[in-house]
Amino acid sequence: MLSLLRGAAALLLLVLNTVFWCLPVFAGALLKLLLPVPSVQRRVDAVLHAFANGWVACNSGWMRLLLPTRWDVQGLEGLRPQGWYLVNCNHQSWVDVFVLQHALRGRIPLLKFFLKQQLIYVPVIGLAWWALGFPFMKRHGKEALRRRPELRHQDQEATLRACRRFARAPTSVMNFAEGTRFTSDKHRRQGSPYRHLLKPRAGAMALTLNAMGERFQSMVDATIVYPAGVPTFWDFLCGRVPRIVLRLREVPIPEGFASRDYAADPAFRRDFQRWLTALWEDKDRELASLLQSA
């Protein structure tokens, strides 16, 4: 009963917090539409990002107030709130987003995610994501891409448009290289060579690097572990996640990766895939070690 009451209280505070911060975000978005002047839009964007950071800070507040979760976070040293970062993480649950926002708030710029097109219809928060400049992507499966290769170019153009907006001010671009949440069924169907990860998708990350030019200082490689088992979001709200482990490390982006074309350069594709494979092998070993010692 206590966990259900905690979950209801946490959900209520999350909803109230979201509505409270979304109203000024919508007003700012309307101002941007009415005054499409770059200098004005940059100033409005800065205010909108402050509102979004306020939403994250208040979420951190109710999490600390209501949830008994113990946080084991390492690797925050050296990160800068005015830096430019590509953030990469393993993906297991919707909780991952809140974990990263809570741990990285104030350490790096506001995290920006590539979102599925359908998420724009989520009440209130979908419009807020749109107002804040989060890019919405139409995810096309392999079969659709085989039938209509031009869809691949649509995805690339959408990524490039989003990254041009990101380039206006220091930004953290969040990437889940697996492209979807890890499950045992997906792991089996993929024939993944990793014990705790799905196969990483290199194309979107390489395109983001290319679109952002040399702005990214480094990649923040994040590894999340839930020692008691991967939770649902409701489990998290109810305080049924006794411990969350997060390990962060800055990884240098190899020289030249931001200026080469992944789609048109086979040699670069091989280089990039080798680099990402090495990162994924390290992450898989780290996950195994963290789970064993938990």
Note the pTM of the prediction, 2 decimals.
Answer: 0.89
Mean pLDDT across 234-259: 93
Res. 54: pLDDT tops 90 = yes
Residue 149's pLDDT is 64
Mean confidence (pLDDT) of the chain: 87
Domain locations in the chain as residue ranges: 69-293
Locus of tokens 């196969």 = 199
Mean pLDDT across 1-15: 94
Give the burial class of 49: count Cβ atoms within 10 A of its Cβ; 0-12 exposed, 13-18 middle, 19 or more buried: buried
| pLDDT more than 70, % of the chain | 91
Residue 143's pLDDT is 63
Q: Between 3.40.1130, 3.30.420, 1.10.1740, 1.20.120, what CATH number should domain 69-293 receive?
A: 3.40.1130
| pLDDT more than 90, % of the chain | 53
Of 13-22, 145-154, 182-191, minimum mean pLDDT range: 145-154
Residue 53's pLDDT is 93
What digits encode the pLDDT tens for the residues 17-52?
999 999 898 888 888 888 888 888 888 888 988 999
Task: Grade residue 146 by pLDDT with cuts at 50, 70 and 90.
Answer: low
Mean pLDDT across 143-169: 67
Task: Grade residue 153 by pLDDT with cuts at 50, 70 and 90.
Answer: low
Task: Grade residue 248 by pLDDT with cuts at 50, 70 and 90.
Answer: very high
Phi, psi values for residue 121, rounded to 5°: -90, 0
Residue 122's pLDDT is 76
Residue 134's pLDDT is 77
What digits encode the pLDDT tens for the residues 184-239?
999 999 999 999 999 998 888 888 888 777 788 789 999 999 999 999 999 999 99
Question: What are the strands, taking DSSP E only, across the chain?
Answer: 70-74, 85-89, 111-113, 115-116, 136-137, 172-175, 218-225, 243-251
Residue 151's pLDDT is 57
The Cα 226–Cα 233 span in angstroms is 13
The Cα 231–Cα 95 span in angstroms is 7
Residue 98's pLDDT is 95
Res. 150: pLDDT tops 70 = no
Res. 263: pLDDT tops 70 = yes
Residue of higher predicted confidence among 133 and 185: 185
Task: Grade residue 76 by pLDDT with cuts at 50, 70 and 90.
Answer: very high
Mean pLDDT across 159-182: 81
Task: Grade residue 16 by pLDDT with cuts at 50, 70 and 90.
Answer: very high
Q: How far is residue 6 from each of residues 62, 69, 93, 180, measured CA to CA in Å?
A: 11, 12, 20, 29
The Cα 143–Cα 92 span in angstroms is 25
Q: Which residues contact 119 (CB under 8 A, 6 or more apart)?
A: 126, 129, 136
